């Protein structure tokens, strides 16, 4: 009998009281268009393409992001300039497909592709959701300020020969017998 009364009334009254107390708690939500919520720096929102500290495109058109993308929303074409640097001829992200999973950012070997805390990307025309390279490129370095892929990697380009990269030893001439 006691258990029945406890189950039917006491526990229900406790529940009601606990929910009622929430009337005196400040609301967790904000009035969005007037008041913007704080967005965390690592929030996965709109995708950008960053530049290295010298102002060149970081993207080397390796296609790893397009491979990693689970919804196949990234499309790009490799090109090569006269210095031997690789760059994307076009780089296209279809944001109507993108699920903001961030796999492209994890796959990128040069920190070129990055996700930002911006999420306000609504458009009236579906075609406007397709962003080209000019729309994606920003003028800054994004989250990684000092990283410059071609200064670290061993790849030979115009103005930087073999062995001149940071932390790289000069190449060994395997045909020479000199000590």
Partner 1 sequence: MTWQVGSALSIGTILFTVIIVAAMLIWVERRLLALWQERLGPNRVGPFGLLQVVADMIKIFSKEDWVPPFADKLSFVLAPPIIMVVILMSFTVIPFAPDVGVIDSDIGVLFVLAMASLGAYSVMLGGLASNNKYALLGSLRAAAQMISYEVFMGISLLGVVVLAGSFNLREIVLAQADVWFIVPQFIGFLIFLIAGIAESHRLPFDIPEAEQEIVAGYHTEYSGIKFGMFFVGEYLGVVLISSLLVVLFLGGWMGPAFLPPIVWFVLKAAVFIAFFVLLRAAMPRPRYDQLMSYGWLFLLPLSLLNLLVTAAIVLAQHGATSGGV
Residues at the contact surface with partner 1, assessed by CB under 8 A:
4, 8, 12, 15-16, 18-20, 22-23, 25-29, 31
Nearest to 74 by CA among 109, 120, 118, 108: 108
Which one, 14 or 79, has the nearer CB to partner 1?
14
Which one, 19 or 122, has the nearer CB to partner 1?
19
Alpha-carbon gap, residue 149 to 82, rounded angstroms: 18
Which one, 23 or 177, has the nearer CB to partner 1?
23
User: What's the token pair of residue 76?
Assistant: 């790009």
Alpha-carbon gap, residue 136 to 143, rounded angstroms: 15
In the bound complex, what is the minimum distance in angstroms from residue 39's beta carbon to partner 1? 20
Which one, 6 or 96, has the nearer CB to partner 1?
6
In the bound complex, what is the minimum distance in angstroms from residue 2's beta carbon to partner 1? 14
Strand ranges in the chain using DSSP code E only, listed in sequence order:
47-49, 74-80, 86-94, 113-115, 130-131
In the bound complex, what is the minimum distance in angstroms from residue 20's beta carbon to partner 1? 6
- 53 phi, psi to nearest 5 deg: -60, -20
SS3 of 6, please? helix
Which one, 26 or 126, has the nearer CB to partner 1?
26
In the bound complex, what is the minimum distance in angstroms from residue 21's beta carbon to partner 1? 9
User: What's the token pair of residue 75?
Assistant: 């499309």
In the bound complex, what is the minimum distance in angstroms from residue 27's beta carbon to partner 1? 5
Alpha-carbon gap, residue 151 to 31, rounded angstroms: 47
Nearest to 66 by CA among 43, 90, 84: 90
């Amino acid at each position: 009998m006691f258990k029945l009364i406890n189950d039917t009334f006491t526990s229900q009254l406790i529940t009601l009281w606990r929910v009622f107390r929430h009337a005196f708690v400040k609301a967790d939500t904000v009035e969005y268009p007037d008041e913007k919520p704080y967005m965390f720096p690592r929030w996965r929102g709109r995708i950008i393409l960053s530049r290295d500290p010298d102002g060149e495109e970081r993207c080397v058109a390796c296609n790893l992001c397009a491979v990693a993308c689970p919804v196949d929303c990234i499309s790009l074409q490799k090109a090569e300039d006269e210095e031997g640097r690789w760059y994307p001829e076009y780089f296209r992200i279809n944001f109507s497909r993108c699920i903001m999973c961030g796999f492209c950012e994890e796959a990128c070997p040069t920190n070129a592709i990055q996700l930002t805390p911006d999420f306000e990307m609504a458009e009236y025309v579906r075609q406007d959701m397709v962003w080209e390279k000019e729309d994606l490129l920003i003028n800054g370095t994004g989250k990684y300020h000092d990283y410059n892929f071609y200064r670290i990697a061993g790849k030979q380009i115009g103005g930087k020969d073999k062995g001149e990269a940071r932390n790289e030893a000069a190449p060994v001439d395997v045909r020479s017998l000199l000590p």
